[in-house]
Structures are given as C-alpha cells and as structure tokens.
Chains A and B, each alone.
Chain A
Amino acid sequence: MDFEFSDEQEQLRDAVRRWVDKGFGFERRHALAKAGGKTRAVLGELNELGLAGLVVPEAHGGMGFGAVEAMVVMEELGRGLVNAPYAQAALVAPTLLSRAPAALQQAWLPKMAAGEALVVLAQQERSSRYRLDQAATQASEAGGNWKLSGTKVVVPAGDEADAFIVSARVAGAEGVALFAVDKGAAGLELRGYPTQDGARAADLLLANTPATLLTLQGHAALEHAADVAIAALCAEGVGLMDRMVAITVDYMHQRKQFGVALATFQALRHRIADVKMQLELGRSMSYYASLKLGEPPEQRRRALSQAKVQLGNSMRFVGQQCTQIHGGIGVTDEYASSHYFKRMTVIELSFGDTMHHLGEVSARMRDTAGVFA
C-alpha cells in the first residue's frame, strides 16, 4: 500500500500546474467560454507539454503512462478549470482504439500522440441517457464497406474534432459495434453549440456515412472507456473542489458582515467542515477509481460506479454549499466560483449520474464489501 506520488508524477503535476499558472488564468478561460467554447488551441498548448500521448503506448509514439499519471494531470486541469476536451482526446479515445485492429491503431494513435488529430467518442443519443448498450444509429455493410445512419448528441468538441468513434447497432447482430468516422466523410453533418461548462459540443448527423469498423464488441470497449472517463472526471472533480474550497476559504476571511469576517460564524465554520469532509471522501474515492482501473471488468465496473456515486455526492455538496457560503457574489457570472460549480454539475451529467451509478452499485452488490472485496 502506498499513497505517495513518484518524483516523475510530481514533476508531471508541476508541469501542468505551471502551465495553468502562466497561461490559463480565469480571464482567458472566461473569454474562451464567451466566444463559444472552442478550445482546440488550448489542447494544442497541452500537447506542447507532451500530454497528448500520455497514455498512448510508446510503440505508437506516446509515453505509455498509466492511470495514476492521468489522475495527476486531470486533478491539475480541474484545479485550473481548463475547458479543453483533454480527457476525451487523450484518455477515452486511446482506450477505445486499443481495441481496434492494428491498421486502425497505426492510422490514428501516432497522430493523436503527436497532438495532430483530435478524435472523440460519439456515443450518446437523444434516448440513450447513460446506457452504453443503447444505439439507434444503424450500421450496414456491403462488400466490406460500412455505412452509418443516425444522430448522436452532445458529442464533446464535436465541431473541432478530426474524427469520431461512433457506436451503432449492426442489423441482425447483438449489442453495439464501434466505428471510426472521418469528419470529412460523405453524409456527415455537425451542428455545434456551447455547453454549460464553457466548452463545446455538437450534434453529429450521419446519413449513409462511410465508416471503418473498430470493433464488433462495442459494449465491452465502451464500458472500459467509460470507466477510464469516470476515473478522469473523478480526478478533475477533486481538482475543481480543492480550488473552489480554497476560493471560498479566502472569501470567508475577506468578507465582513456584522463587523466580523464570515470565517468567525459557527454556522459557516460547521458548513466548511462538512465541505472538507466531502472533499476528502471524494479525493479518497478518486484514488480508488484510478487504482481500480486495472481490475477485471466486473470489479472495475463496480469500483468505478462506487467512485462516481461518491464524487457525484461530494461535488454537488461542495458546489452548492460553497456557492451558498459566498452569498450573492457566488451566483454571478463574473466570479470564478460559479464556473467551478457549473463544471462540477456537467461532470455529474457525464458518463452516468449519481442515481445511475447507485443503481449499478446496487445491482453489482455482493455479500462482502470493502476496498479489497
């Protein structure tokens, strides 16, 4: 058992933190969000730090790092409220491609590791909610060529991406399959829009659009990718909460009412103790999430669902209470803390909300429980 980060991991953390401190202040973030949330340029700067290939195998030009390094990076991106689709581009897409035929991996992974290609998952549909095995999008094959028809929604950074990994149902087959689709493919249309968290997403419309088969075992691949995404979001959530609490604590010392600082009121002191509790429970379960990613699927799924429940509850509490403690300033657009709150809320709505994952935990419960069960 060891909860210490290696020197290399600490250096990675420092590198991201330094970049945030120097190049990604709240002003810039706010301006990007107001301009519609296009952040491909920001992603480019992260790539200059070498982060694009963080988990891509070295054979494909990446660094071949693991879950803990990803967690470290995500915590810092959370702390900095960085609204670029890093987790989607650098963690989720490589995980999905690891299940692709060698030729497809060779075609995309080196470009992704170099930061030249932005590939994102297009899985959600109007009626799928958080169910990974649901897809109304249809895939059909003729003479070895696949074509897709359907509509995907809230595709992250959709109108900035170069390619998509699309889930679809294959006529006559069970479950969902995954396909790679180039943004320039025939019959593909994108309708972009800003999102609540200052980023961007798009509807992806496919009409007999040519696609390359990634895997017919789409559900297992999606579950794996969703768990990688959940661990990343948990870590980002920890960074977000950490920073939002720090902002709130500063404000409690600074702001006076009835002639004294907010930090002197016991009602608020107890509230901040409860906030600290949720932050540390969340941090503990974020570690758990990343350290359980290598487990067999059944244990991995259960653990990641447990983590998402904790982080969902923690982020909601921390976000709501830190907003409340601030008073009026906390609900304004000009003040950073409201944007932390909104990002936490969007994380709740990504890859399964708290209730969804509580259902997963419930369904997967066994007689024994605990960290090592």
Chain B
Amino acid sequence: MDLNFTSEELAFREEIRDWVGKNLPKDISHKVHNALRLSREDQQGWQKILGKKGWLSYNWPTQFGGPGWNSVQKHLFEEECARAGAPRILPFGPVMVAPVIMAFGNAEQHKRFLPGIASGEVWWSQGYSEPGSGSDLASLKCRAERQGDKYLVNGQKTWTTLGQHGDWIFCLVRTSSDGKPQTGISFLLIDMKSPGITVRPIITMDGEHEVNEVFFDNVEVPAENLIGEENKGWTYAKHLLAHERTNIADVNRAKRELERLKRIAKSEGVYDDVRFRDQIALLEVDIVALEMMVLRVLWAEKSGKQSLDVAGLLKIRGSEIQQRYSELMMLAGGPCTVPYLHEAMEGGWQGDIAIDRFLLPLAGTYFNQRKTTIYGGSNEVQRNIVAQTVLG
C-alpha cells in the first residue's frame, strides 16, 4: 500500500502541466475560473488545440491513434486540465461515441468517423432521451424503418446537450417492436444537416440555452451509418456507459471549485464565520473522501484487478458534491447573487453595477447544477444499481 504516485507518473504530470500552461488560452481559462459562458468557439477552440497534440482522444488506445495512457495517466491529464481552468472536454465525441465505433463499427466507419472526433473538427451530440423515455430509456420510440439502403427516421430526442452546435448525432432508435424493449433498439449515426431535422432550444431555469429538443421528420439516413447489427444497439449503449468511468465523479473539477468557494467566502467575509466555515470544511472532507475512492478505482483499473464495486457510487457522490459547492458559493455570495443579468455571463461584459462581477453567475450555476443528480442515469436509478450489487 502506498499513496504516492511513481516518479514516472509525477514526470508525466509535469509534462502535462507544462504543456497545458503554455497552450490553454488565457481568455478561455478566465471564463472557466469565473463560470462565465463559453462560446462554441471557446469549446471547440480548446478541443482543436488538444486534437492537434493528439490529446483530445486521450482515452483511446494507440491502435486508433490515441496515446494509450493507463487509467492513472488519464486521471492526471484530467486533473491538470481542470486545475488550469480548461473547459471540460465534451464527452460526446471522444469519450462516448468513439469507443462504440471502435468496438462495434467496421473498418470503413473507423476511417470515416474517428479522425474528425480526434481532431475536434466534428461536433457530436447524443440522442438518447426522449420525452417519454428518461430513466426508462429502453422504452424509447424514435423509429428507424429500413427502406432499401437507407433508414427513414421519425420521432423526437430531447435534453440534447449543446445540440445547437452539433454536426452529427448518435442515436438510439427503435428498429423492432418484437420481444423485450431492449432487443429492438439500434445504434445509428445521423448527420444533423440532413433534411427533416429540427433543433429547438430548451431554456433551463438559469436562463441558459444548453439543451435542446431534436425532431426527426422522415429523415433519410444511409444504412451504412448503422453501428454493428440491427437491434443490438442496447448492448452497445451499455458498453458506452462502461466507458464513462471515473471522470463522471469530476473530482478534479470539485477541487478547483472548492478553491474558488474559499476565495468567494473570503471576499464576502464568511470564511471566518465558524458556522459557514465548518460547512466548507465538511465539503473538503467529502471531496478528499471522493478523491480517495476515485484513486482506489483507478488503481484497480490500472492493475487489471477485478473492478471495484465502488465505481457505481462515484456518480452519486460526485453529483451531490457538485450541487453542494455550487450551493455554498451562492450562499457565500448572499444577496449579491440575486441580480439576474443574462448578459453578465459573457466574457467581455462591462456593466454598470455596484456588485463584483464574479458574484453574478453564482445563483445561475446553482440552478444549473440541479441537473447533475438527474442526468446520466438519475441518482435514484444509480441507487437501484448499487443495491443490486449489494443485495442481488
């Protein structure tokens, strides 16, 4: 037993830190450190910088052009990016769809789709949830009918994160109504410029446009865009979930945000208020405990030992902690977080208001973070899964 990284791992960390320090644009990290709105250009700009270095595909094996890092190296990379204030790598392309294409796509699909994901050129969206299918995803209804060498897609997807920027969308679609709901689902890649697709914004309670509804009206999709076999999509999607791994806990971002919380608490004079400060201290304990749990899982993965049954706990705990720090930041800001100035979320805003700029996004972030215990399998669904491992 040993808690220290090896000297190779520490050297690796230095290399990442040095490179990120030199290549992450300051205007972008400023926005991240202050929770300001990131434009499409900010998001994609950073992803392309990583893509050029070969690090956007940081979790890919070398055979597909990834760096072939082990789980600890991936973690250190994520940690350094978070620490420096890099935008979170949008997982849809490199982390979610790419492993499915690699595992179940054919050689032609590898050649066609993977390069654009690795370079950050192509923006991918996720088409899973539907109005009637949230936690009960297998009940999805969006239909794809085979007609010769193409599919005709009709239906609706929803909660499509940043779908307004999407070039492509990977969808779970119903190709059969026979048997169990899970057995009639297929995994289809759809060009979002196809005729018949409409993207409509959903404005969330923070006033932001982050998620969308996507409508499919007789959309023609070439049959060659089907991944693997028809009606096997549910199996592929489960493979994808297995690849969400530890970064779903987002402990690295939590450490950075804890530092920000302390800065805000100091500036607002509550850091020395025992009642408030103890809440921060408790959050600090929670974050250290989460980090230890993440490290245990990373080590289990790296060493190839049987995977720990704690992995399912990470999403629950990580999301609760995200909500907690956003809540405490708002409470630290107090009454000065009440003004709602939509435009103050923009990088260049120069408003005439007697309240420090950094306080203005805090309530919005708090509202926004309510999503974390709902998405990616609600925490109640996660508890069902954990209970299954404990009780059978």
> Taking beta carbons and an 8 Å cutoff, which residues of A are in contact with B?
1-6, 9, 68, 245, 249, 252-253, 263, 266, 269-270, 272-274, 276-277, 280-281, 284-285, 287-288, 290-292, 306, 309-310, 358-359, 361-362, 365, 367-371
CB-CB contacts below 8 Å: B296-315 with A: 296, 298-300, 303, 305, 310, 313
Contact A306 B285, beta carbon cutoff 8 Å: yes
- Residues of A with C-beta under 8 A to B4: 1
A272/B387 in contact, CB under 8 A: yes
Q: How far is the CB of A55 from chain B (nearest CB, A)?
A: 15
Q: Determine the distance from Cα of A361 to Cα of B6 in the docked complex, in whole angstroms.
A: 28
Residues of B359-392 whose CB lies within 8 A of A: 380, 382-384, 386-387, 389-392
Q: Are A369 and B317 in contact (CB under 8 A)?
A: no
Instruction: State the CA gap A273–B293 with chains docked (Å).
Output: 16
Bound CA span A289–B99, Å: 37
> Across the interface, do B284 and A288 meet the contact criterion of CB distance under 8 Å?
no
Q: Answer whether residue B220 sits at the interface, using C-beta atoms and an 8 A cutoff.
A: no
Within the assembled complex, what's the spacing in Å between the Cα atoms of A253 and B300? Answer: 30
* CB pair A370 B288 closer than 8 Å: yes
Q: Enumerate chain B residues within 8 angstroms of A306, measured Cβ to Cβ.
A: 284-285, 288-289
**Taking CB as reference atom, which chain A residue is nearest B290?**
A281
User: How large, as a class, is the contact surface on chain B?
Assistant: 35 or more
Q: Which residue of B lies closest to A66 (CB)?
A: B1
Does B292 contact A1, Cβ atoms closer than 8 Å?
no
A2–B299 touching, CB < 8 Å: yes
A367 touches B259 (CB 8 A): yes
Q: Give me 11 A-to-B residue pairs in the complex whose CB atoms sit less than 8 angstroms apart, sorted by A's number.
A: A1-B5, A68-B1, A270-B383, A273-B383, A277-B316, A284-B292, A287-B3, A288-B288, A362-B280, A371-B3, A371-B295
Task: Output the nearest chain B residue to A291 by Cβ-Cβ distance.
Answer: B3
| Main DSSP-derived SS at the A contact region | helix
Chain B residues near A (Cβ < 8 Å) = 1-6, 9, 72, 255, 258-259, 262-263, 274, 277-278, 280-282, 284-285, 287-293, 295-296, 298-300, 303, 305, 310, 313, 316-317, 380, 382-384, 386-387, 389-392
- Of A252, A274, A287, A361, the contact of B296 (CB 8 Å cutoff): A287
CB distance from B175 to the nearest CB of A (A): 32
Given contacts A1-B2, A371-B3, A371-B292, contact A362 B274 (CB under 8 A): yes
Judge whether A253 and B391 touch: CB under 8 Å: yes
- Give the residues in chain A near B274, CB-CB below 8 Å: 362
Question: Is A362 a contact partner of B299 (Cβ separation < 8 A)?
Answer: no
A287 near B387 (CB under 8 angstroms)?
no
The answer to whether A4 touches B1, judged by C-beta atoms less than 8 angstroms apart, is: yes
Other A-B pairs, 4, CB within 8 Å; known A272-B387, A371-B295: A272-B390, A358-B278, A361-B282, A369-B288
Instruction: Say yes or no: A277-B284 contact (C-beta < 8 A), given A2-B299, A285-B289, A371-B295.
Output: no
> In the complex, A287→B295 CA distance in Å?
11
Q: How far is the CB of A144 from chain B (nearest CB, A)?
A: 45
Q: Is the CB of A358 within 8 A of B281?
A: yes
Asked whether, in the complex, the Cβ of A288 is within 8 Å of the Cβ of B3, the reply is yes
Asked if B288 and A3 make an inter-chain contact with CB atoms under 8 angstroms apart, the answer reads no
